[in-house]
């Protein structure tokens, strides 16, 4: 029997802000119960839960470091205890540190790759073990892997790992009707993207696509919701969501 969205449960990492929060809100609006996994910002996580509940949805927040297997496993256990299982995992948690290859601080490199690479692997490992048959796993990548922009080498490398993990896991889950895809946003108006950029840089990057604007978190959440629900024939892909930038 095919599950309806009213019986499906989603875990969204990085769900307290930005794209993750909008994905959580969108999935809840479509009837899915949502577990919002966050790193440190209790207030934003509570606000995300309140927003979903105010609209009639079901949500809880769980704090976890996505690079720590025990913490991630505990988040999945919480989803099972509160809502009965896990059908959808949206892995949106990530860090972005920018600098040239010559000047990059290697401690910051290790910190970013711990979250973006190890974190993706840990979350996907737990998802592979726990997501119910017929579910979906969606990882957040980036369109800058195709652009070769100066200062983005370390970040692009970390997201290139996301593009590598997703199709392999899709094949490893053969026989369970679980799709695994990556969503690669272009420049999107989130705190992660806007921090440290001047108006000229933002304007220039908004003009990289023919539509001529930055993406909004809601634009990305729309594609995530499609992959989490009706988009069953898309599997093992990186889907570029960038207004035609690349």
Please enumerate in sequence order all residues whose Cβ is within 8 A of that of 6, keeping only pairs 6 or more positions apart, or say none: 31, 32
SS3 8: coil
Per the DSSP assignment, residues forming a β-bridge with 36 are 12, 61
Residue burial 82-99, b: 16+ Cβ < 10 Å; e: rest? ebebbbbbbbbbbbbbbb
- Lay out the sheet containing 88-91: strands in order across: 59-63, 33-38, 9-13, 88-91, 136-140, 179-185, 238-241
Task: Check residue 40 and report its DSSP letter.
Answer: S
Which residue is listed with tokens 């195709």? 146
CA distances from 128 to 13, 169, 172, 173, 200 (A): 15, 8, 9, 7, 43
Q: What's phi and psi for 167, nearest 5 deg?
A: -70, -30
DSSP, res 246: -
Q: Which residues are catalytic?
A: 155
Which token pair is 76? 């999945």
């Amino acid at each position: 029997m095919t599950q309806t969205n009213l019986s499906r449960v989603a875990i969204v990492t990085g769900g307290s802000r930005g794209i993750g929060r909008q994905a959580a809100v969108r999935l809840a609006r479509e009837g899915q119960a949502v577990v919002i996994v966050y790193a440190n910002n209790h207030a934003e996580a509570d606000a995300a839960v309140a927003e979903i509940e105010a609209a009639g949805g079901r949500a809880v927040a769980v704090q976890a470091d996505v690079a720590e297997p025990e913490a991630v496993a505990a988040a999945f256990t919480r989803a099972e205890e509160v809502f009965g299982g896990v059908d959808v995992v949206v892995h949106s948690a990530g860090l972005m540190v920018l600098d040239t290859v010559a000047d990059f601080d290697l401690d910051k490199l290790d910190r970013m790759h711990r979250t973006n690479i190890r974190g993706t692997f840990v979350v996907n490992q737990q998802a592979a073990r726990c997501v119910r048959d017929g579910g979906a796993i969606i990882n957040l990548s980036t369109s800058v892997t195709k652009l070769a922009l100066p200062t983005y080498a370390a970040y692009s490398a970390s997201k290139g790992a996301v593009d590598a993990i997703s199709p392999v896991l899709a094949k490893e889950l053969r026989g369970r009707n679980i799709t695994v895809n990556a969503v690669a946003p272009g420049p999107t108006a989130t705190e992660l993207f806007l921090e440290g950029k001047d108006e000229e840089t933002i304007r220039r990057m908004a003009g990289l696509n023919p539509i001529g604007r930055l993406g909004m978190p809601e634009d990305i959440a729309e594609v995530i919701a499609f992959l989490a629900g009706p988009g069953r024939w898309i599997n093992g892909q990186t889907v570029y969501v960038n207004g035609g930038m690349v």
